[in-house]
Amino acid sequence: MAKDTKAGIRDSFGSKFGFIAATAGSAVGLGNIWRFPYITGENGGGAFLLIYLLFVVVIGLPVMISELAIGRSTQRNPFGAFRVLKPRSKWFLVGIMGIAAAFMINAFYSVVAGWTLEYLVKSIANQFQGKTPAEISALFDGFQQNNWRPLFWTVLFIVISAGVVLSGVEKGIEKYTKILMPLLLIIILVLCIRSLTLPGSFEGVRFLFHPDFSKIGPSAILIALGQAFFSLSIGMGTLITYGSYMKRSDNLGSSAASVVFSDTLIAVLAGIAIFPAVFSFGISPDSGPNLVFLTLPNIFAQMGGGYFFSLLFFFLLAIAALTSTISILEVVVAYFSEELKMSRKKATLLASAGIAVLGILCSLSLYKMPQISIGKNSLFSLLEYTSSTILLPLGGFFIVLFVAWLFGGTKLKAELSSEGKYRVRYLGVYRFIIRFLAPLAIAAVFLNGLGILKF
């Protein structure tokens, strides 16, 4: 399906399910399956999970609705959307921040996404079987120190993402995410079942769902808020871009709620798949970032049927990473296409080439060429910090302020109700949140990330 806009004939999602699958795919990524379990483990389990869920619903969902409303009302990319809504003003800089963040994130994210392909190949070759924890750690170090393999996987992941985006919104992004997202759900459910059948697995379930608020302090609360904020792809332009491809007849609020539910479900299921296995094999749940690439391969090496479940898990990681890199790449491609008047093919190739160059430098900065750094930070760390700690919170902060105070109440109600087609019972609560609660919460995350607000 196409739509006529000021930018010309514009691609769009063909169905509500297609939009939900693609947007949930954007939100569901390594943050859900890699980061969420280990930060939950580091912050006490069940209590952290409850606080996280609260922030997802109270803060994350309203901010997501705000971004989608901007995108659908203008039918433009983040830069173009603010130019349409507030011409001859500086608000377009918010869109530029989102596009810049998307470019940076795709570069360093593709590096880690490439690791999932390496581990998928290792799983196929059964390289974890019979290995001690020290030998599995040596495998990871050997991979990182290799001259070309990390670079190869980084570039390959970017090429795969580009291949999907090149086909367009409906025939590319929607088509593939409608296949990948149900497949991801099936795989993670299979992993959950296997994990729950392990001896002593109940302790892992108890850890995840039994709240122990004695382990929760102000710092853990801000970490939960930050994870809720970032796991939903807020502030990087993805939701504005995907919202611009959304049908005007679709219920914006219920669609956003479906995306939030899907994203949160996958994060919780990842915890169910991981923690029972961790406890079954007597491993500490607070293993940190090493949980996926070092700890879990050790578990698979000891588990009955570990070969099969290792394959499933790293295939799952690769799918989750791919659905995210597709959406992030689309933000840059949409900007190039609509604002620089490029064809989709040229925009995709140019964006992917630029991201590949930056991704290669990020990968090299970690191990092979630490001199690619600014101060004490590697290029990888610098891009991650700049995008996640500065650009995303600032983008989200200004977006909710814009929708709350400048978008216009009548226009907002018309957008959320699809011109009166749906009742918007939540409008009063929603406007209160985006006017007061959401800006304060985002500001707290931002100041905490900068080290200004300390606990």
| Residue range 318-345, pLDDT digits in tens | 999 999 999 999 999 999 999 999 999 9
Q: With 50 as the cut, is the pLDDT of residue 4 above it? A: no
Q: With 90 as the cut, is the pLDDT of residue 312 above it? A: yes
Residue 330, C-beta contacts closer than 8 angstroms, at least 6 positions apart? 165, 169, 173, 238, 241, 242
Alpha carbon 191 to its chain centroid, in Å, reads 21
pLDDT confidence bin for 288, thresholds 50/70/90: low
Q: With 70 as the cut, is the pLDDT of residue 218 above it? A: yes
Sign of the C-alpha dihedral computed for residues 24, 394, 62 and 2 taken in this order: negative
- Domain count of the fold of the chain: 1
Sign of the C-alpha dihedral computed for residues 377, 368, 161 and 334 taken in this order: positive
The residue ranking higher by pLDDT, 2 or 157, is: 157
Query: Quick one: average pLDDT of 138-146?
Result: 89
Q: Distance between CA atoms of 378 and 397, rounded to whole angstroms? A: 27
Inter-helix orientation angle 344-366/92-124, to 10°: 70
- Is residue 439 in some structural domain? yes
Q: Tell me the backbone φ, ψ of residue 305, rounded to 5 degrees.
A: 75, 15
Q: With 90 as the cut, is the pLDDT of residue 230 above it? A: no
pLDDT confidence bin for 7, thresholds 50/70/90: very low
Q: With 70 as the cut, is the pLDDT of residue 5 above it? A: no
pLDDT confidence bin for 289, thresholds 50/70/90: low
The residue ranking higher by pLDDT, 371 or 322, is: 322
pLDDT value at residue 361? 94
Query: Quick one: average pLDDT of 351-374?
Result: 88
Query: Quick one: average pLDDT of 355-367?
Result: 93
Query: Quick one: average pLDDT of 159-164?
Result: 98
Residue 393, C-beta contacts closer than 8 angstroms, at least 6 positions apart? 229, 235, 442, 443, 445, 446, 449
Task: Give ∠ CA 333-34-305 in degrees, rounded to 5.
Answer: 120
Phi-psi region at 232: left, alpha or beta (left = phi > 0; alpha = psi -120 to 50): alpha
Q: With 70 as the cut, is the pLDDT of residue 274 above it? A: yes
Residue 314, C-beta contacts closer than 8 angstroms, at least 6 positions apart? 116, 119, 120, 122, 123
Query: Quick one: average pLDDT of 192-209?
Result: 93
- Is residue 358 in some structural domain? yes
Q: With 90 as the cut, is the pLDDT of residue 68 above it? A: yes
Residue 298, C-beta contacts closer than 8 angstroms, at least 6 positions apart? 128, 131, 133, 136, 281, 283
CB-CB neighbours of 377 under 10 Å: 14
pLDDT value at residue 455? 62
Range of the domain at 227: 2-450
Q: Which helix (H) or strand (E) holds 373?
A: strand 373-374
**377-395 confidence digits (pLDDT tens):** 899 999 998 998 899 999 9
Q: Distance between CA atoms of 433 and 429, rounded to whole angstroms? A: 6
pLDDT value at residue 1? 42
Structure tokens at 96: 């530029």
Q: With 90 as the cut, is the pLDDT of residue 134 above it? A: no
- Is residue 340 in some structural domain? yes
Torsion, Cα 160 115 321 298, to 10 degrees, reads: 140
Instruction: Quote the mean pLDDT of the chain.
Output: 91
In the chain, % of residues over pLDDT 70: 97
Residue 297, C-beta contacts closer than 8 angstroms, at least 6 positions apart? 119, 122, 128, 131, 136, 139, 310
Q: With 80 as the cut, is the pLDDT of residue 315 above it? A: yes
Largest CA distance in the chain: 65
* Pairing, β 8-11 against β 2-5: antiparallel
- Is residue 455 in some structural domain? no
Q: Tell me the backbone φ, ψ of residue 46, rounded to 5 degrees.
A: -55, -40
List the CATH number of the domain containing 95. 1.20.1740
- Is residue 208 in some structural domain? yes
Q: What is the DSSP code (8-state) at residue 128?
A: T
CA distances from 348 to 4, 344, 418 (A): 21, 6, 32
Hey, is 372 helix, strand or coil?
coil
Burial of 452 (0-12, 13-18, 19+ CB in 10 A): exposed
Q: With 50 as the cut, is the pLDDT of residue 71 above it? A: yes
86 HSE (CA, 13 A, CB side): 18
CA distances from 52 to 23, 58, 109, 224, 226 (A): 20, 10, 23, 5, 9
pLDDT value at residue 6? 41
Q: Any idea which of 168-172, 274-278, 328-332 has the lowest mean pLDDT?
A: 274-278
Structure tokens at 440: 């304060």
The residue ranking higher by pLDDT, 303 or 407, is: 407
The H-assigned helical ranges of 146-174 are: 149-166
